[in-house]
Amino acid sequence: MDLDAFAAEVARGMYDNDPASQALGMELVEVRRGYARLTMRVREDMANGHAICHGGHIFTLADSAFAFACNWTNRVTVALACHITFTAPARVGDLLVAEARELHRAGRTGTYDVTVRRENGTLVAVFRGNSYTTRGKVVETLPFADELTTAPQPRS
């Protein structure tokens, strides 16, 4: 099986069991080995007292993109540490696009960068996440990626 198609299949199964991302209206646009792109439209109930998108919602979008990028092997992988820098506000009605990329993965840990942009390309936030792979499968009915090939490598 093609590993990018496999990663997308794992992501669909993961999304089906992700009520947090669903409730915020996040949509999976693309997932492949070590990469995920999600979108989220900023709703009125996401605005804070300054009439801009609450940073927690932007962080959640970035964190979800990070999660889909680092779980592509079908091994349960969680956040070990995350940091975000906000560069511009997002407003009600904006479509936010989060792109996560695997920078490094070795053993049980990995490093991922996520950018969050408005649909027009304006950078809203930069997120860096460190992952930790635990035990278990994301989707029980699928194998682990390393059972499909001897050396899965992310593609940027």
Query: Is the pLDDT confidence value at 83 over 80?
Result: yes
Q: Which residues of 98-136 are buried (b: 16+ CB within 10 A; e: fewer)?
A: bbbbbeebeeeebbbbbbbbbeeeeebbebbbbbebeee
pLDDT of residue 123: 98
Name 120's Cβ contacts closer than 8 Å, sequence gap at least 6: none
In angstroms, the CA 86 to CA 68 distance is 21
Stretch 33-61: mean pLDDT, rounded? 98
pLDDT of residue 154: 60
107-146 pLDDT per residue, tens: 999 999 999 999 999 999 999 999 999 999 999 999 999 9
The type of residue at 57 is H
Superfamily of domain covering 3-140: Hotdog Thioesterase (3.10.129.10)
1-30 pLDDT per residue, tens: 799 999 999 999 999 999 999 999 999 999
Burial category of 7 from C-beta neighbours within 10 Å (exposed 0-12, middle 13-18, buried 19 and up): buried
- Band of the pLDDT at 153, cuts 50, 70, 90? low
The answer to whether the beta carbons of residues 57 and 48 sit under 8 Å apart is no
pLDDT of residue 13: 97
In angstroms, the CA 10 to CA 67 distance is 11
Query: Is the pLDDT confidence value at 96 over 80?
Result: yes
The answer to whether the beta carbons of residues 11 and 4 sit under 8 Å apart is no
- Band of the pLDDT at 149, cuts 50, 70, 90? confident
pTM, two decimals, is 0.93
Stretch 37-66: mean pLDDT, rounded? 98
The answer to whether the beta carbons of residues 52 and 87 sit under 8 Å apart is no
Stretch 56-79: mean pLDDT, rounded? 98
Indicate the domain borders of the chain. Answer: 3-140
pLDDT of residue 150: 56
